[in-house]
Structure 1
Amino acid sequence: MVDMNGQDPRVLANQHREFQKRAEMVQQQIGMVQISMEDCNRALTTIEELNNISMGSEMMFPIGSGSFIYASISHTDKAVVDIGAGLSVERPISDAKEILQRRRERLTTALNNMNNAMLQLGQQMQAIESYLTKLQQAQGQVGSQ
């Protein structure tokens, strides 16, 4: 928490603005993590659905911009997964699923940390706002006497 006793209100207002900027940055990061989590969940759901599909089945696959192509499934026992740093590897479905589940766990932890950071920033901003409001009210009472 911010110690506000005796601080110049202008300094506190600057701190408040800085907290707002940080909160905006964290909110953007939260959005990116949420998109990554949705992507990971989509991949896990697709892997689960491979149990219901036989080799040679024809499916539509997204190619971007809301467009799809038809393709035949040649392997239902393997997947190519991104392992980071721009590298992808072919793994058995069970391994691919584990990799994606671990990724989802890391993303969930990151999201929880970011949400906690947002909560702390919000509390700090609220404390500053409350202090400045009380200060203004006290000055208004002194000025009216």
Structure 2
Amino acid sequence: MVDKKELQRKYLQLQILRQQMTAMLEEKAVVEERINELSSTIDSLKKLHSIKTSEEMWSSLGSGSFVRAEIKDTEKVVIGIGAGIFAKKSAGDAAETLEGRLKELNTVNDEIMAELNKINIQLLALEPEVEKLAGQQSA
């Protein structure tokens, strides 16, 4: 006869693992979104030198809204350096700073992937156990 408490314990463990996986997948999506945003910004910074001053372009206001703007300076940009503080840097220095952040985020993304793989292995091992115990319980 199957121990009902053992089945409940394993089922609870299974549910916790599933919740952890869901939370980590959400975190991974946020990190990947930030990676894409940084990659796009770095690409734009690297192309900035090819834009002539006094050229017009569409400038993002956020939330999918844009305004026509005239380029006054392609040498310097303002970037956030953390804690609501901004600094004026050359486009090249700004790209380097953002590439450092991108490298850190890629490391975080790799760590999340490794943890997701561990959780998945645990789930794949635990699910058949729970099904077997549940089948024995109903028999």
Give the structure-2-normalised TM-score. 0.88
What does 1:36-115 correspond to in 2, within 5 Å?
A: 36-115=34-113
Give the match for residue 19 of structure 1.
17
8 Å Cα contact 2:55/2:71 also seen in 1 = yes
- Unaligned residue ranges in structure 2 (runs of 5+): none
Q: How far is 1:136 from its partner?
A: 4.9
Query: 1:100-140: CA deviations, max 9, x gaps?
Result: 10010001000111111111111111111122234456x38
Structure 1 residue 66 displacement after superposition: 2.4
Which one-letter code corresponds to 2:42 in the other structure?
L
Q: Deviations over 1:52-86 (max 9, x none)?
A: 10111111111123221111111111111111222
> Could you tell me whether the CA contact under 8 Å between 2:46 and 2:91 is conserved in 1?
no
What secondary structure is seen at the aligned counterpart in 1 of 2:73?
A: coil
**TM-score for both structures, normalised by structure 1:** 0.85
Secondary structure of residue in 2 paired with 1:56: coil
**Equivalent residue, structure 2, for 1:130:** 128
Please report the RMSD computed on the Cα atoms of aligned residues, expressed in angstroms.
1.7
SS in 1 for 2:68: strand
What amino acid does structure 1 have at the position aligned with 2:56?
E
| SS of alignment partner, residue 93 of structure 2 | helix
Q: How does 1:20-35 map to 2 (within 5 A)?
A: 20-35=18-33
Give 5+ residue unaligned stretches, structure 1: 1-6
